[in-house]
Amino acid sequence: MASLSDPNAPPPHVVEDCRGALQLLSDGTVVRAAAAPPPFYVRLDIDDGRVEWKDVVYDAAHGLGVRMYRPAATGGAEEKLPVVVYFHGGGFCIGSCTWPNFHAGCLRLAAELPAVVLSFDYRLAPEHRLPAAHEDAAAALIWLRDQLLSDPWLADAANARKVFVSGESAGGNFAHHLAVRFGAAGLDPVRVAGYVLLMPAFISERPTPSELAAPATAFLTRDMCDRYCRLALPAGADKDHPLVNPFGPASRSLEAADVGRVLVVAADGDLLRDKNVEYAERMKAMGKDVELVVFAGEEHAFFGVKPMSAATGELVEVIRRFIAGAAA
């Protein structure tokens, strides 16, 4: 960093830019935009009263919050709803549960599944490089376990034996690691009935055909993916790090991992498509209970970017059937 007392030092300049929401300057300063999301995200007011929601803090030490949702009309104890945990995307670097696009998607999940939904924030890179966010995701589930048994706002509506852990992009990456750590029984007496990985952020040093074919106009480009990795991975790590490549040379074997039921959703126009499909196929080959659904004509993170689209409506139905399958 240039000395502040050096009058000849050049002014700081931008060396990394993440969609205008985050900039890293040459002197190491991190500049984040105001609370509003980048302009390409939707700004929709779809809060029509069908869903109640509130914000609470789940980790005061790190200033982390969770936005909790439940349908306004909930039945008695015999009609308690499944619980959907959701971790937003953003390359481990940007995003918040309060952003309107993620809020809209969670309102839709709560109303249409229907379900009790909890959308958790987590520490962001580069201020907090991985594995900080993975640690926060695990802490979120442990917090939820305790709250489901003690908080009437949740306990009155939520079925603690039907918890589903989901996430998109970076959040889908978290869902995988949480499945490996907790499986179905690791939060006893709460039961995780399934994991939902939406276009999970898996990458490797060796590019796949879908990465090589990704156009410069894609929502997620190779350049942007590389930028997120530079900002988020532990210092000195490459894209084969176990946190982003579950089958990398240093990654633990998943043969013995009891991950429970898993739904993997890939987008046909996503540069991560091949890694997502490979993940599902390799997990199936190990005997894991994994379902793969590929959405034609869609790009990376379409749930978060286009929460009110027809494709997202189809995705909500896919998730609804997955949840119903757990009950069956």
DSSP 306: -
According to the model, what pLDDT value does residue 38 have? 66
Is the peptide bond preceding residue 126 cis, with omega within 30 degrees of 0?
Answer: yes
CB 84 within 8 A of CB 164: yes
According to the model, what pLDDT value does residue 3 have? 46
- List, by residue number, the catalytic residues: 169, 270, 300
Q: pLDDT tens for residues 293-314?
A: 999 999 999 999 999 999 999 9
Assigned token pair, 105: 């998607």
Assigned token pair, 165: 């852990």
According to the model, what pLDDT value does residue 4 have? 52
For the chain (328 residues), the mean pLDDT of every run of 10, in chain order, is 61 94 95 72 71 97 98 74 98 95 96 98 98 98 96 95 97 97 93 97 98 97 98 97 97 92 98 98 97 98 96 98 86
According to the model, what pLDDT value does residue 1 have? 41
User: 């079925």: which residue's tokens?
Assistant: 159
Q: 204 to each of 47, 94, 211, 251, 289, how far by Cα in Å?
A: 40, 21, 10, 12, 24
Amino acid of residue 176: H
According to the model, what pLDDT value does residue 40 have? 59
DSSP string, 237-301: --TTSTTT-TTSTTSPP-TT----EEEEEEETT-TTHHHHHHHHHHHHHTT-EEEEEEETT--TT
Tell me the H-state helices in the chain: 100-112, 132-150, 152-155, 170-182, 209-212, 222-232, 273-285, 302-305, 310-327
Task: Name the 3-class secondary structure at 149.
Answer: helix
Task: Name the 3-class secondary structure at 193.
Answer: strand
Q: What are the chain's domains?
A: 16-324 (3.40.50.1820)
According to the model, what pLDDT value does residue 70 have? 97
